[in-house]
Structure 1
Amino acid sequence: MTPVSASHRHPLFARLYARACPLLDRRLAAYRRALLDGLSGRVIEIGVGTGANFTHYPHQVEAVLAVEPEPYLRRLAQAAAARTPVPIDVTGGSADRLPAADASCDAAVTCLVLCTVPDPAAALAEIARVLRPGGRLRFLEHVHAETPARRRVQRVLDVTLWPRLSGGCHTGRDTAAAIERAGFTIERLDRLGSGETGIPFPAAPQILGTATVTSRSGRAGDE
């Protein structure tokens, strides 16, 4: 198991997030199912949190490597994995150093996690590394707002208190552009609002989509 640094420990946020998940899933469960629909083979999910996606994995999935750096959330995810029919191995690790071999996964899943990683480019390069040629990335992420005024609010929050209060979350990232810069081709992208997912601003809007890895730049920092 990969050691977890102090930067990955968010004990207060983790407990609050775990309590909020059942409330969020009253609206979000349908989008979790859509996120995972049609997956098969070997899957890696990055930043699994409490394991809220686990019950939505289709039976065609052979195995899931579930990576969660936060110790409290990882323990909850391990308990959730024990209750699911799909084989799920919950392990520690960080998005920029995934505990998987090159080209070992058929698909990768991120769900409300790319907002929290310190270096999204490094995380996406790692995802590209572990995917086989033609492998797919499924993502459900909140992104920057559509209006200039709301984007300004997000920028202010991101450089002040929001990341400290929300486990490293950043509200104003352009995640779709980051995915494309990492060598993926986005095949499908749906834009969702608070009225659909129940997740309020500033963690809105969200994007739900699929991307295929088409080029590899190597692990960040190796060149």
Structure 2
Amino acid sequence: MNSGAAPAAAVESSDLWARAFSALYDPLLWVGEKAGMGVRRQDLLGRARGRTVELGSGTGLNLPYYPDDLAELILTEPEAAMRARLARRLHRSRRRARVLDASAEQLPFADETVDTVVSTLVLCTVDAADPVLREIGRVLRPGGQLLFLEHVRSQSPRLAHWQDRLAGPWRRFAEGCHCNRATLELIRTCGLELGEVQEASWRAMPPIIRPLITGVATKSGG
């Protein structure tokens, strides 16, 4: 009996925190959104076209910024608590879109059937970015694009040191977020053609997640 009690308790505790984190997510990001992140989302997502798939849509903060003329908008979110909030926001928005229970590592789409993949603050949260980037490359049509907005490992040795030191506790608090992940380097080596990348700071947020990159990577052959 005792051997199974601890794992069951741990799972229950994890589920409770997942629900609490989903409720706290928007308030925690509110100041950062007002301090410039919302504008960055708008600038990036205005480039979406065709059949668009968003990875890890969370509570739906990107919803207001998509163009109205997309052929299709599919919002994927594997966490049940986040997905429930996403569905409610989508209903209020009256935007035409589908919500899917799907992980970024296993997208339920055939090869080369997606025009745009969107990743905002997702590549830091997955267990490993490489399988996700391979999956993005698989579903994108030739000429298809990955739009990304991610916080990354700092170029400052001092801040990178603190990102490494605080990576463990931050990952537990932020539902798997790796604050010290060198995401840009991973995108550079994934086989997509990296376009112009802009570096920025996520103002009003904790220093370990302030360094940002935003840009577009394209699948060759289009």
Same fold per superposition (TM over 0.5): yes
Task: Describe how 1:207-218 pairs up with structure 2 within 5 A.
Answer: 207-214=213-220
| CA offsets 1:21-50 (integer angstroms, 9 cap, x no match) | 433321221111011113221100001111
- Letter of the 2:70 partner, please give it: V
- Indicate the SS of the match to 1:13: helix
User: Could you tell me whether the CA contact under 8 Å between 1:57 and 1:86 is conserved in 2?
Assistant: no
> Which ranges in structure 2 are unaligned for 5 or more consecutive residues?
1-10
**2:183 is the counterpart of 1:169:** no
- Asked if 1:199 corresponds to 2:205, the answer is yes
What is the rounded CA distance, in whole Å, between the counterparts of 1:210 and 1:170 in structure 2?
21
- Alignment equivalent of 1:23, drawn from 31, 41, 45: 31
- What TM-score, normalized by structure 2, do the two folds share? 0.87
Query: Could you tell me whether the CA contact under 8 Å between 1:116 and 1:168 is conserved in 2?
Result: yes
2:186 alignment partner in structure 1: 178
Would the aligned equivalents of 1:14 and 1:167 in 2 still touch at CA under 8 Å? no
1:22-81 per-position Cα deviation (integer Å, ceiling 9, x unaligned): 333212211110111132211000011110101110112121111111111111111122
Q: How many residues in Structure 1 have an aligned counterpart in Structure 2?
A: 206
Q: Runs ≥4 in structure 1, deviation > 4 angstroms?
A: none
Computing the radius of gyration over CA atoms, which structure comes out larger, 1 or 2?
2
Residue from 71, 77, 100 that aligns with 1:68: 77
User: SS where residue 216 of structure 2 aligns?
Assistant: strand
1:147 and 2:156 correspond: yes
TM-score (norm 1): 0.86
**Partner letter of residue 211 of structure 1?**
A
CA RMSD of aligned residues (A): 1.8
C-alpha deviation, 1:86, in angstroms:
4.0
Secondary structure (helix, strand or coil) at the match of 1:17 reads helix
C-alpha separation between the residues in 2 aligned to 1:86 and 1:128?
27
Q: Is the CA contact (8 Å cut-off) linking 1:61 and 1:86 kept in structure 2?
A: no
Q: Which has the higher helix share?
A: 2
Structure 1 residue 142: Cα displacement: 0.1
Aligned to 2:4: none
Q: Percent identity?
A: 34
